[in-house]
Each structure stands twice: as C-alpha cells, then as structure tokens.
Amino acid sequence: MTLEFEQLDRNLVVKLKGELDHHSAEIVREKIDRSIDRGGIKNLIFDCSKMDFMDSSGLGVMMGRFKKLKSMGGQVVISGINPNIDRVFKLSGIYKIISKYENLEKAIEKLGEGK
Amino acid sequence: MITNKMRLEIDAKSENESFARTVVAAFVARLDPTLEELNDVKTAVSEAVTNAIIHGYNEMKGTVYISCLIDKNTVLIQIEDHGIGIEDIGKAMEPLYTSKPDLERSGMGFTVMEAFMDSINVTSNIGKGTLITMKKTFDSIHNRVD
Ligand SMILES: Nc1ncnc2c1ncn2[C@@H]1O[C@H](COP(=O)(O)OP(=O)(O)OP(=O)(O)O)[C@@H](O)[C@H]1O
Ligand SMILES: [Mg+2]
C-alpha cells in the first residue's frame, strides 16, 4: 500500500493506493497520525478510489482516526469506494459516523475549508 | 467428479497475509468465479489468517495452515492455527466484539467471514488452537467442457 498526502486548508486528504490489511494498517496509521500531530488539520478525507482491497483491519484504522479527530472537533469522511469495499463498510455500520462521498471533489465541497 | 486440493503452510507474519489470500484466490480462480466472488474469498481468507496471527499467536512465532478443496463448483477452505484458542466462540463471533480494542480492532472479522462465505464453522481448544472451515459455492460457474 502506498499513501499520498495533500493538505487543502485544514482538510487532510489521504489517498490510499493498493491493499489495506493488518500488515499495511500499522504504517498507514503511523503516517496519518504523524501528519495530524503536526497540527493545522481538522478533518480527514480518505480517498479510496485507488484502494483495491480492504478487510476489517481497514475499518479499525478508519474508526481510530475518527475517534482521534472527533476529540479535536473534526471529522473523517471517505470517498471513491468500490462496491467490494463498500460491503465491508456497510456490514460494520461505520457510515453512521463516517460519511461517504462519490468522489474526492464532492467530499471537499462538503467539508469546505475545514474552518 | 472434479476435485482438486492444495495445502499451504506459512509463518505467522503479517507480511504473509496478502500472500495467503492471493494464493487461495489464484487456486479458486479456475472455477471461473465473478470478480465479486473472488473478492469475497480473498477477504474471508484475509480475516481468518489475520486472526490466527494477531489472536491465535499474539503476533509471535507460529505457523498458519491453509488448505483448500474444490469439489465441482464449491470450495472448502480451512485455516488453522496452533495458538491460544478461543474460550467463548459464540461471543467471539458477535459483531463488534473484540478482545483487543487497544489494537484498534473493529471486531468485524467473523461477521465479514459469515457475510462473504456461504457457511463458516469454528472449532477451538484452549491452548491447542483454532480451526476455521468456510465454504462457498460459485453460482456463476459455466458448464465448461474441460
Ligand atoms: N484464531 C484465533 N485464536 C484466538 N482467538 C481468536 C481467533 N480468531 C478470533 N479470535 C477471537 O475472536 C474475537 C473476534 O474476532 P474478529 O475477527 O471478529 O474481530 P477482531 O479480530 O477482534 O477485530 P477485526 O477482525 O475487526 O480486526 C477476537 O477479538 C479474538 O478474541
Ligand atoms: Mg479479526
């Protein structure tokens, strides 16, 4: 799995490319937390348009970042999910706390400047 | 009757998770499953192998045993560890139950296996290990003449 970070105002976009499992989750978690801890970030957008596999380990990563940002007054959203991964998300009920958008543009539009 | 089997033994290391699910998917691919069905199998195998590594062996040394048996258009997959075992299988299989919330586990592994496979059976002995048996029939199979 490779990660690409982009900060747009106070929104951090994390583009996940490849397969998110227990093995890749550790490094993904670490890198994202390091970015958040540097400060200046309120919301997190997971761009999943290039992620082709995810199991429950990915759910743990996303819920963990949700808890972290929620305690700082921010939110986590996801975009570009393929149907297979969508089924894992749906089973978990994660959409009750993390909103899903068709694509990155829509997610950014919705979050605004993250003020 | 067309049967085919394979057996795989891997070290309980997280870097082997993608290898394990890819090997099983490649073995099952000859049944001509849809991409969705193939992904179901990959995800379920990933869950079971990850559980063996994280829970069965507590991320320490061990071996995970994987076997697949194809019988016509049905695949039977077994994933076994010789780790700590599960005390209360009913509780372990409840959605959102995890014994390791500190590791950011979501407690959804068994729920995913149940949803993505046709059936799952769990047997376990404390201190001896755990055996997961999953089955899936591919409806998509064409009547091929091999
Ligand atoms: N092979 C195993 N050996 C011992 N205990 C296990 C094994 N597999 C599962 N368990 C127990 O069952 C529980 C539930 O497993 P499940 O896969 O549903 O959730 P999880 O692994 O805790 O979280 P997630 O899969 O969402 O990351 C685990 O927390 C663990 O206590
Ligand atoms: Mg699990």
> What are the two backbone dihedrals, phi and then psi, of residue A36, each rounded to the nearest 5 degrees?
-65, -40
Q: What ligand has the least distance to the C-alpha of A55?
A: 1
B17 and A22 within 8 Å at the Cβ level: the answer is yes
pLDDT of residue A112: 82
Residue contact A23–B17, C-beta within 8 A: yes
pLDDT of residue B141: 54
Helix (H) or strand (E) holding B144: none
Q: Enumerate residue ranges in chain B where pLDDT < 70.
A: 1, 140-146
The first and second tokens of residue A38, run together, are 């540097």
Cβ neighbour number for residue A105 with a 10 Å cutoff: 10
Q: Is B127 exposed, middle or buried (0-12, 13-18, 19+ CB in 10 A)?
A: exposed
CATH code, domain with A64: 3.30.750.24
Phi/psi at B93 (nearest 5 deg)?
A: -85, -5
C-beta neighbour count of B28 within 10 angstroms:
24
Which residue among A22, A23, A55 sits closest to B112, beta carbon to beta carbon?
Answer: A55
Phi and psi torsions of A79, nearest 5°: -140, 160
The C-alpha atoms of residue B144 and residue B73 are separated, in whole angstroms, by: 11
Are A53 and A19 a contacting pair, CB within 8 Å?
Answer: yes
Q: Locate the ligand 1 atom nearest the alpha carbon of residue A59 and give its number.
A: 26
Range of A7's domain?
Answer: 2-111
Taking a C-beta distance cutoff of 8 angstroms, is the pair B43, A88 a contact? yes
With an 8 Å Cβ cutoff, is A50 touching chain B? no
pLDDT tens-digit map of A57-103: 999 999 999 999 999 999 999 999 999 999 999 999 999 999 999 99
Per-residue model confidence (pLDDT) at position B68: 98
- Based on the structure, what is the number of domains in chain A? 1
Ligand 1: which atom is nearest the Cα of residue B51? 8
Task: Please tell me whether the overall predicted TM-score, pTM, comes out greater than 0.90 for this model.
Answer: yes
Quote the CA–CA distance of B36 and B22 in Å, as a whole number: 14
Domain B3-143 belongs to what topology? Heat Shock Protein 90 (3.30.565)
User: Any idea which ligand is nearest the CA of A22?
Assistant: 1
